[in-house]
Structure 1
Amino acid sequence: MGLKSVLSRPLAAYVARQYAQWQQDPIGTQQRVLRGLLAQGARTAFGRDHDLATARTAQDLAARVPVRDYEALKPYFERVKAGEADVLWPGKPLYLAKTSGTTSGAKYIPLTKDSIPNHINGARDALLHYVHRTGKSRFLDGKLMFLSGSPELETVGGIHTGRLSGIVNHHVPAYLRRNQLPSYATNVIEDWETKLDRIVDETLPAPMTLISGIPPWVQMYFDRIVQRTGRPVGEVFPGFDLFVYGGVNFEPYRKKLFDTIGRPVDSVELFPASEGFFAFQDEPGNPGLLLLLDAGIFYEFIPAERFFEPNPPRLTLAEVELDRQYALVLSSNAGLWGYSIGDTVRFVSKYPFRVVVSGRIKHFLSAFGEHVIGEEVEQTLREAMRQHPEAEVVEFTVAPRVSDDPAVPSRHEWLVEFARHPHDPAAFAAALDTGLRQRNTYYDDLLAGHILAPLLLTLLPAGAFQRYMKSQGKLGGQNKVPRLSNDRTLAEGLLGVG
């Protein structure tokens, strides 16, 4: 056992004790975080505009600061981007995290001196909790691969700017940097396919122990390893024992990923975003992610079904219920105030507060009034795959197919790229239909009333999603395919490149 793995164990125990302290009073911890945020926010242009100096409670915050997304807060972000100080948080941010926007092109999210530790420590503490819970630390002695965006930064308004994963790359602790792959020279390659080949070149001869990234892009990496060697990934890397992932629901990818690995490996799920590092899987085998309540972020929760009301309720941690969908709203020491990140979560436990990420508040399918959410289609697909264990899914999305013939009902279209097709696609489609009807009563009513026909399963050719993402300039990195759409833009794009 190497020095890193030995020293990690007392550090892991220390960090676990720190977390246990704030978990004893999670509600009080959040109240303390909010008071600190309001005190700092009062010193900013935003604070003066919203009278944060007189705010003390969550109710005060809700009364003064409406829920807004990036577009609604864009005037403030533009001032930050232009180099103005004391706009959303005292001083200027250390970085701007550049991320894709759906309506306004690129978004620029501030990372401040106070908020950057949240991103760095969140990932570190996830691994240390794994060490503490399992006693396994040998992976720290091998090579660790973080599949990320380019660490190369540009300057915008005098502020270093780049992809979040690239920014975080600059803060990898020195004691881990020797273990880190890929190299800087490889990581800055912009073309994803070229970069992927170089990553394979660098990692094939290395004793890989930990691999981390967004599942669909890790799967591409695994596929290249198998193509090069003719062997499963777990045989190529006998020391590979820990897979760390986040960004999308892992379940649709689980079977193919582990088939490609060829043997079981442990996994840890993270809930990171440019706006903050919110939660991680603190107990192996427990699907709930521990919500980080002492990391400079104050959380509010809006019942998802009421999110688009003019004045929806904004609940604090003390008011949430189990197994209910909430849109996540946050105020943070990055200078985000009443900010809707677009994700929905569902609490699976209280004390400690653990969530699962259930979808995107704007990514739902309700072309016919059914309001199907991402978690429902992912659970439905997982159940269909359980019934048809021969099937392996690479990627999928669901879109409406509106009929212009009154005699032919409209329907949902599931566009699925399989690594291995089900033996009976019609039976697989029927399993999807049945599963979704069981999970969504509105969808069930629409089919029972013959307003919708049973879904159409469209089998896409191999590589269709990759070709589409490449055509959009979104191949690799942190880009994700929406699970649900209310129009056919994505569906037609996939069919066009298929």
Structure 2
Amino acid sequence: MSLKSFASKIFAQIVHTQNQKWVQNPVETQQKVLKSLVKEASITAFGKDHNFQGIETVIDFSNQVPVRDYEGLKKYIERIVEGEENVLWKGRPVYFAKTSGTTSGAKYIPLTKESMPYHIKAARNAILAYVHETGKADFVDGKMIFLQGSPILEEKNKIKFGRLSGIVAHYVPNYLQKNRMPSWETNCIEDWETKVEAIIDETVHEDMTVISGIPSWVQMYFERIKQRTGKPVGEVFKNFELFIYGGVNYEPYKSKFEQLIGRKVPSIELFPASEGFFAYQDSQVEEGMLLLLDGGIFYEFIDVKDYGKPDCRRLTIGEVELGVNYALIISTNAGLWAYDIGDTVRFTSIKPYRIVVSGRIKHFISAFGEHVIGKEVEKALGEAMLGTTISVNEFTVAPQITPDTGLPYHEWFIDFENKPEDMDAFALKIDYAMRKQNVYYDDLITGNVLRTLVIRVVENHGFEDYMKSIGKLGGQNKLPRLSNDRNIVSQLKLVK
């Protein structure tokens, strides 16, 4: 055992012990976070507009600060972009994480000197939690790759902005710099396909032990490695032993990854976003990710069934229940207040509080009142593939409301690596798994409002071609699992 791996085990134990203080006192911890946030921001324009001086309790806060999305906070953010101080948070942000919005155009999410350290700390602690639980630490001596956006930042009114992953690249700890790949120059390449080839050039002969990134883009990296070397990734990187991911559910990609790697590799799931780092997987045994209650973020939760209603209840951490889908509402030390990030979560444990991301509020199918969410389609596909050789590269789902003949149906667009021999039987398996999960969908099938789902086979790499066509190939960009319209699926190339 090297000195570095030995030290990481000691550090992991220290961090685990520190975390237990807030893990064991979740309600008190969140109350302290809210009190601190309100106090720090009482001098800001937003704080004055919402009488932060008069907020003493959670109820006061929910009464005085309505839930907003980006559009609701946009007028404040625009003031910050123009150079004004003390608007949403004291002083000015150190960065803006620039993201592409569907209704707002470019979105500028503030990152402050108070919020940035939590992004770095959470990513570090996720790895340390793995070390603490498993006792494995040898991987720290090998090379680590982080597939991310370009670290080149722009600047406006003395505030730098860029993609979150590119901003975070400026904060890689010194003790990881020698192990970290790819090089700065390669990371700065904007074109994703060119960048992947350059990353392979740099890494293919290295001792890679940790690989991190959004699964769909790591899959492309693995495919190109296998094409170039003729070997499984696990043979090229014999000591590859940890995959770290976030952004999308890994399950639909898992069988394909195991084929590309040639063996199973442990993984750690993260829940980072431009708005904050919310959770990480702290156990290889328990389902879900540990919700970070002491990370400068106050959480509220709205039952999806009540979402959008003017009198909907905003629950705090002590009021949530297992198995319910909640819209996630956050208030942060970057100046986001009762902010609806658009994600839905479901609690898998309350001692400690662990969550899974169950979907997006705006990414669903409810053309007939079924309200199908992302987690349901991912689980259904995974169940249908169990015990088979079928593997999937990518997929999305949309409603077909006006078919040429017969009843309407849900249409699944799938890029298969290994196709099922009997496509109709495979569709029935998925449909059965969907009906088990979603009683409304089952009622529609039983009542002859919908027919069994239909599968359309997308050309290999058809989803990559689509993402490229809209300028979103690689980086932090993710394909929606489902949508309530046909804007995406109308642009996909199908196998004839």
TM-score bracket for this pair, using the shorter chain length: over 0.9
Aligned CA RMSD, in angstroms, stands at: 1.2
Equivalent position of 2:142 in the other structure: 142
In the TM superposition, what is the alpha-carbon distance from 1:286 to its structure 2 partner?
2.1
Counterparts of 1:485 and 1:61, CA distance in 2: 34
Q: How does 1:239-318 map to 2 (within 5 A)?
A: 239-318=239-318
Q: CA deviation at 1:4?
A: 2.1
Q: Distance in 2 between matches of 1:76 and 1:50?
A: 13
* 1:343 alignment partner in structure 2: 343
Alpha-carbon distance in structure 1 between the residues aligned to 2:94 and 2:150: 18
Q: Deviations over 1:234-270 (max 9, x none)?
A: 1100111000011001110111011111112111110
TM-score, normalised to structure 2's length?
Answer: 0.98
Corresponding position of 1:212: 212
Q: Is the 8 A contact 1:390 1:423 kept in 2?
A: no
For residue 81 of structure 1, report the CA deviation from its aligned partner: 1.2
Q: Partner of 2:491 in structure 1?
A: 493
1:342-380 per-residue CA deviation (whole Å, 9 max, x = no partner) reads: 111111111210111111111110011111111111111
Give the distance between the partners of 2:96 and 2:494, measured in 1 at CA: 35
Letter in 2 for 1:462: N
Matches within 5 A, 1:24-423: 24-386=24-386, 389-403=388-402, 408-423=406-421
Kept after mapping to 2: 8 A contact 1:468/1:497: no
* Pairing 1:429–2:452 present: no
Contact 1:328 1:342 in 2 (8 A): yes
Q: Secondary structure at the match of 1:170?
A: helix
Residue 482 of structure 1 is matched in structure 2 by 480
Secondary structure of 1:37's partner?
A: helix
Distance 2:68 2:478 in 1: 23
Kept in 2: contact 1:38–1:56 (CA 8 A): no
Distance in structure 2 (CA, Å) of the matches to 1:357 and 1:341:
12
CA distance in 2, matches of 1:216, 1:99: 19
Q: Secondary structure of 2:171's partner?
A: coil
1:455 counterpart (440, 450, 453): 453
2:457·2:494 contact (CA, 8 Å) conserved in 1? no
Amino acid at match of 2:470: Q
C-alpha contact (below 8 Å) 2:70/2:104 kept by paired residues: no
Q: Give unmatched runs, 5+ long, in structure 1.
A: none
1:497 offset after TM fit, Å?
11
Aligned residues: 496
Q: Name the stretch that deviates more: 274-283 or 447-456.
A: 447-456
- Compute the displacement of 1:408 (Å): 2.1
1:472: Cα distance to partner? 0.5
**Structure 1 position 190, deviation (Å):** 0.4
* 3-state SS of paired residue (2:386): helix
Letter in 2 for 1:411: Y
SS of structure 2 residue aligned to 1:131:
helix
Please give the alpha-carbon distance, in whole angstroms, between the structure 1 residues aligned to 2:161 and 2:403: 47
Give the secondary structure class of the aligned counterpart of 1:260. helix
CA distance in 2, matches of 1:118, 1:312: 30
CA distance in 1, matches of 2:299, 2:463: 35
Is 1:344–1:361's contact at 8 Å kept on the other side of the alignment?
yes
- Structure 2 Cα separation of the partners of residues 37 and 191 of structure 1: 40
For 1:389-416, what per-residue CA distance to the aligned partner results, in whole angstroms no more than 9, with x for missing partners? 11101111100111266x6211110000
Alpha carbons 1:50, 1:65 under 8 Å: kept: yes
CA distance in 2, matches of 1:164, 1:410: 41
Which range moved further: 434-443 or 245-254?
434-443
Cα distance in 2, alignment partners of residues 263 and 444 from structure 1: 37
| Distance of 1:347 and 1:61 partners within structure 2 | 24
404 and 140 in structure 1: CA distance in 2 versus 1, 3 angstrom threshold:
closer
**Aligned counterparts of 1:47 and 1:80: Cα–Cα separation in 2:** 15
Instruction: Give the deviation of 1:496 after TM superposition.
Output: 7.7
Segments of structure 2 that go 5 or more residues without pairing to the other structure are none
Q: Deviations over 1:266-316 (max 9, x none)?
A: 111101000000001111132210000011000000001111212211000
Evaluate the alpha carbon distance shift between residue 112 and residue 193 of structure 1 in structure 2; reply closer, same or farther with a 3 A threshold: same
TM-score (norm 1): 0.98
Aligned counterparts of 1:126 and 1:6: Cα–Cα separation in 2: 17
Contact 1:182 1:199 in 2 (8 A): yes
Q: Is the 8 A contact 2:321 2:347 kept in 1?
A: yes
Native 8 Å contact 2:151 2:187 kept in 1: yes
Structure 2 match to 1:440: 438
- How far 1:157 moved relative to its partner? 2.3
- Residues of 2 paired with 1:94 and 1:177: CA distance? 23
CA distance in 1, matches of 2:409, 2:345: 28
Deviations 1:132-153 (A, max 9, x none): 1111111111100000000010
Structure-2 separation of matches of 1:99 and 1:287? 30
CA distance in 2, matches of 1:63, 1:479: 36
2:321 match: secondary structure: coil
Q: Distance in 2 between matches of 1:263 and 1:394?
A: 18
Paired residue type of 2:157:
G
Question: 1:300-341, CA deviations, whole angstroms, 9 ceiling, x for partnerless residues?
Answer: 000011112122110000100001100000001010000011
Deviations 1:413-442 (A, max 9, x none): 000011110111111011111111111111
Q: Is the 8 A contact 1:278 1:291 kept in 2?
A: yes
1:210-244 deviations in Å (ceiling 9; x for gaps):
00000000000000110011110011001110000
